[in-house]
Amino acid sequence: MKRKIVLYIAILAIIVGGAPYLTGMLVETKFQDVVKVLSDVDSAPITIKLTDYQRGWRKSYAKTKVTIYAANQEYNLMLEHEIRHGPFVQLHDQDYKDWDFARALIHSKILLNENAQKILATELGQTEILNINSKMAIDGAVQIKVYGKELKLKEHDGTSRIAWKGVTGEWNLSSDLRHLKGQIAMPGFDIDLNGAHYLAEDLNYTTELSQTAQGLWPGKFLGTLNKLTIENQADHSVLNLEGMTAGGMMSVQGAMADFSGDLRIEKALVNGKQYGPIDYTNTLKHIDSEVLRAFFILSQKKKAPHDANLKKMMNLLPELLKSRPEFSIEELQIHTNEGDVKGTLHFAIGGIEANDIKNFPQIIQSIVAKGNLLLPKLILRDMLTYQYTQNAQTANEIAKRAATLASSLPPTQDVQQLPKVLTDQEIAQLVNQKVNESITKWLKEGSIIEKDQNYISEVTFENGKFSVNGHPMDVGQQLPMPTGSMPPPGVQ
């Protein structure tokens, strides 16, 4: 009897002792699958590549390279992962009290070069600024938790300062690796950099995605930001946004993908002028899902030659046009003290008989577009005044430089007639004249129509013909917005 008990204990010890190694084999395969899935999520501007995996008995070690794409730039991070095998996972070395029942527990950290480690150690007294802990459940589901500590860095000359208030996040990936839910929260940041001040408060983001057979990840997201301030010392501009909410959704039905998005800003202060609430919603429909997937793949290949990627994207256009995509601005409304700005837009292009990019006239004929804009009179006048003032001040600076240069020439030098340097009052008078001339011209042409205290403009393009408020207009004809330069001050 005692021999049987000893034998049972020995067998149990072998099973318990060997379980971590067997589990480690499963974990390695699952880890590789998770890395690939997270890298393939098309709405995330990142790619992840497994560069090394060393499997041990109770632990494994891995390294991954994370590439983040932003503003036509690539930022690379190396992550190191310590993977503790289950099914009974010891939470800490030399600690035999705390255990967890899981396939694996993973602790990840950013690998920093020696110089970066020295800077963090000197400025912060620590080198591990981001904690990433993951749990791979017995059924294969994965939970990833991120915690970032507060950071405060300051250049010794006082020109740059970074105060990062930390970050927390959690992502959950289903056992079949086809459903992803995530959330991230940042209390904010306060940064002085390159002559500008950036302040943000309470940023939150949530997302829920599911993978399709085509490899796309449709779903929804919601982001909120309590406050954002940007101050530029160079031009003394100030932007304040409060109560921002942005949401979006991507859905796939059969072979087509549709998108929708909305934005709301409770209050916006631009150089002391208040706007808000601001509401905006749009949709993009009838996008071939295979074309969309190919576009996402190409857009991530930043290191490929530009011409090569451009050619491949051009090759996608016929299939994209065949499904006749439609873009709509369902609502644009900006509340101002002078009245509300309102607008809508609908645009459709292509079709089964209008997808040959070599037949450009046929594609133009396929376009149906209609938009309308309601603009308070005072807003239009303010916009024109700002644009014409900028043009006049630039021209006046050129006139001043020309006068300075002419004064340095010998008296015998033949100098052509120079434009007059205007005073601020003369510039204001000239700008007011130009604004009145533009508005009068557009009213006469029918480009804008008066309605109460507003101007209305309705633009239509159909059958290759362009019209504004029902009046035919050449596509090249100037629309109600000053984009060119004014003549030099004093020259009419």
Q: pLDDT digits over 147-175, tens only?
A: 988 887 776 565 677 888 899 999 999 99
Residue 456 lies in a domain: yes
Q: Is the pLDDT of residue 480 over 70?
A: no
Task: Name the pLDDT band for 402 (thresholds 50, 70, 90).
Answer: confident
State how far the alpha carbon of 255 is from the alpha carbons of 42, 177, 270, 286, 483, in Å.
Answer: 17, 22, 43, 9, 42
Q: Residue range 15-29: average pLDDT?
A: 74
Residue 275 lies in a domain: no
348: left (phi over 0), alpha (psi -120 to 50) or beta: beta
Residue 452 lies in a domain: yes
* Dihedral of alpha carbons 398, 403, 407, 411, sign: positive
Distance (Å, whole) CA 198 – CA 217: 33
Q: Which domain holds residue 428?
A: 375-472
Task: Name the pLDDT band for 456 (thresholds 50, 70, 90).
Answer: very high
Angle, in degrees to the nearest 10, between helices 424-445 and 377-407? 130
Query: Which residue, 277, 192, 274, is CA-closest to 231?
Result: 192
Higher-confidence position of 370 and 301: 370
Residue 386 lies in a domain: yes
User: For 50, phi and psi rounded to 5 degrees?
Assistant: -80, 120
pLDDT of the residue at 485: 42
Higher-confidence position of 23 and 269: 269
Query: Which residue, 251, 171, 244, is CA-closest to 207?
Result: 171
Per-residue tokens: 38: 């997270």
Task: Name the pLDDT band for 194 (thresholds 50, 70, 90).
Answer: confident
Residue 398 lies in a domain: yes
Q: pLDDT tens-digit profile of 76-113?
A: 889 999 999 888 887 666 655 667 788 999 999 888 77
Distance (Å, whole) CA 438 – CA 415: 34
Residue 278 lies in a domain: no
Yes or no: say if 75 and 47 are a contact pair by the CB < 8 Å rule: no
Distance (Å, whole) CA 406 – CA 453: 48
Domains contained in the chain, number = 1
Most confident option among 116-120, 300-304, 337-341, 475-479: 337-341
Q: Residue range 331-343: average pLDDT?
A: 95
Q: Is the pLDDT of residue 12 over 50?
A: no
Higher-confidence position of 484 and 394: 394
Q: Global pTM? A: 0.81
Distance (Å, whole) CA 267 – CA 265: 6
Per-residue tokens: 305: 């030659």
Residue 438 lies in a domain: yes
| Site of tokens 């905006």 | 280
Distance (Å, whole) CA 67 – CA 47: 5
Buried b (16+ CB within 10 A) or exposed e, 31-58: beebbebbbbbbebeebbebeebebeeb
Residue 447 lies in a domain: yes
